[in-house]
Amino acid sequence: VQLQASGGGLVQPGGSLRLSCAASGFTLNRPAIGWFRQAPGKEREAVSCLSTNNDITYYPDFVKGRFTISKDNARSIVYLQMNNLTPEDTAVYFCAADLAQSSSYALCHGRPPNWGQGTQVTVSS
């Protein structure tokens, strides 16, 4: 199982970024997969999770309406579209998965066993 995140960078407040997570070693039709972030001095937190078997998503309130998680089964990529970014969104973003279960809610509230490396997102003017 490998998860490869990319797409981070520097963006101005109010801007957008799309992160990609390339998944290998499993198919995107059963497990739960999601995005988490960790800012300096803060604990890691979930920002978006997806049940790949039924496309049910979970978002915490602080990203609802701004972040969207989606997947491309053919390319085995999970995306995180982030709009209207604020400096508070600055963090290292990670993709994570749990092949043993498929609940997006459970993934976002649990401890995923599979992690990719992070990609830095910086929101600054």
The candidate with the shortest Cα–Cα distance to 18, out of 74, 95, 87, 73, is 95
Q: How does pLDDT run across 47-65, given as a tens digit for each residue?
A: 999 999 999 999 999 999 9
Give the H/E segment covering residue 106.
helix 104-109
Is residue 93's pLDDT more than 90?
yes
Q: How does pLDDT run across 1-25, given as a tens digit for each residue?
A: 999 999 999 999 999 999 999 999 9
Residue 56 — φ and ψ, nearest 5°?
-75, 135
* Average confidence score pLDDT of the chain: 96
How confident is residue 87, by pLDDT bands cut at 50, 70 and 90? very high
Q: How far apart are CA 71 and CA 92, in angstroms?
A: 21
For residues 49 and 105, the answer to whether their CB atoms sit within 8 Å is yes
Is residue 29's pLDDT more than 90?
no
Q: What is the pLDDT of residue 60?
A: 97
For residues 34 and 110, the answer to whether their CB atoms sit within 8 Å is no
Q: Which stretches of the chain are assigned E, i.e. beta strand?
A: 2-6, 9-11, 17-24, 32-38, 45-51, 57-58, 67-72, 77-82, 91-98, 114-115, 119-123
Q: What is the pLDDT of residue 54?
A: 93
